[in-house]
Structure formats: structure tokens, C-alpha cells
Amino acid sequence: MTHDGRNDVLRPFPDQRHDHDACRSEALAQVVAACAERGLRLTPLRRRVLELIWSSHTPVKAYDLLDRLRREHAAAAPPTVYRALEFLVEQGFIHRIESLNAYIGCSEPEQAHQGQFLICDSCGDAAELSDPDIAAVLRRKAEMLGFQLDVCTVELKGRCARCETAAG
């Protein structure tokens, strides 16, 4: 089956006119709705972790998150924060970027997907694709090698169009 690729971009790089306040509010509203629908509790800590992760399009490092939260909440011990992160990852509200030990918010938490992430080395922003063709090819190749694929996340490094233009 082929598809036209229009719906593969879950989260583009933000452009100059990008209204991030609106973008973040929309993402948080989606999570609140998904939690209500799935009967999950969005505790104040889970919500705060999510807000911090959505503060920009740059993946947030786990230790920066721990630092910020320790200053805000005396109760935000690392295991508690990691449990909140685990919950958010499991529900598809955020993704972990393994190569950076960092997290970014997902714009499409309603549907389960294995993402491909484009990470800008210059500004640090990340974009997310979810192209089922890419995932299918990797799955097929893994099968050929008798490899049991558990995680099919792809992380690409380079420069976003904005940084590439600024450099040129």
C-alpha cells in the first residue's frame, strides 16, 4: 500500500510566525482530553513535567528537568520524576530521544506510532515524522535477520531549514 506522505509530519520545525503559546496549549489540552478518555490521572507533577517538556521544540534533557523540578517541588525526587516521565512516554504524550537522553512532546498522542525524529545540531529543535513506510522497511529488514524488533525509533541529525539559511 502506498500513501502520499502528507500526514507523515506529526510535528514540523517551528517557523518564524510560529505561535508557541497556542501550540503548547493545544498539546496540553489534547493530553487532558486523552487522560479523561482513558481514565488516567494527570497529577500536578505529571502535568508540570509535561509543561516543562513543551516549553519549546528543543528536547529537554532529563537532568535539566530534574534540576528545574527540584527547585520547584521539594517532593520531586528523581524516582518520582522518572515515574512521571515513564507514564507520559507509555501514554505516547512525550517521546524519549535516546541519543540525547532527552524528551520532547508529541503532537499526536491519540494514535500509537513509532516516530522518526529530525534533530537540529545547531539550534537543538526537533521535528517528528511518523512514516509507516519507513517503519515497515525497518521491520522487514529486521525480520530477514531474525531480529526481534522492540523499538523502531529513528533519530536523524542535521540542521533545520532556518539554521541552514542563517549559516548560508
Interface with Zn ion (CB under 5 A): 20, 23, 106, 115, 120, 122-123, 160, 163
Q: What whole-number distance in Å separates Cα of residue 67 and Cα of residue 70?
A: 5
Q: Which is nearer to Zn ion, 5 or 78 (CB)?
A: 5
Task: Report the candidate in 10, 36, 39, 23 with the shortest Cα–Cα distance to residue 112.
Answer: 10
Q: Quote the least distance from Cβ 115 to Zn ion, whole Å.
A: 5
Q: SS3 for 97?
A: strand
Q: Quote the least distance from Cβ 149 to Zn ion, whole Å.
A: 18
Q: Quote the least distance from Cβ 59 to Zn ion, whole Å.
A: 12
Q: Which is nearer to Zn ion, 76 or 100 (CB)?
A: 100
Q: SS3 for 102?
A: strand
Q: Which is nearer to Zn ion, 69 or 160 (CB)?
A: 160
Q: Quote the least distance from Cβ 163 to Zn ion, whole Å.
A: 3
Q: What whole-number distance in Å separates Cα of residue 10 and Cα of residue 109?
A: 10
Q: Which is nearer to Zn ion, 20 or 141 (CB)?
A: 20
Cα pseudo-dihedral 160, 97, 64, 85, rounded to 10: 140
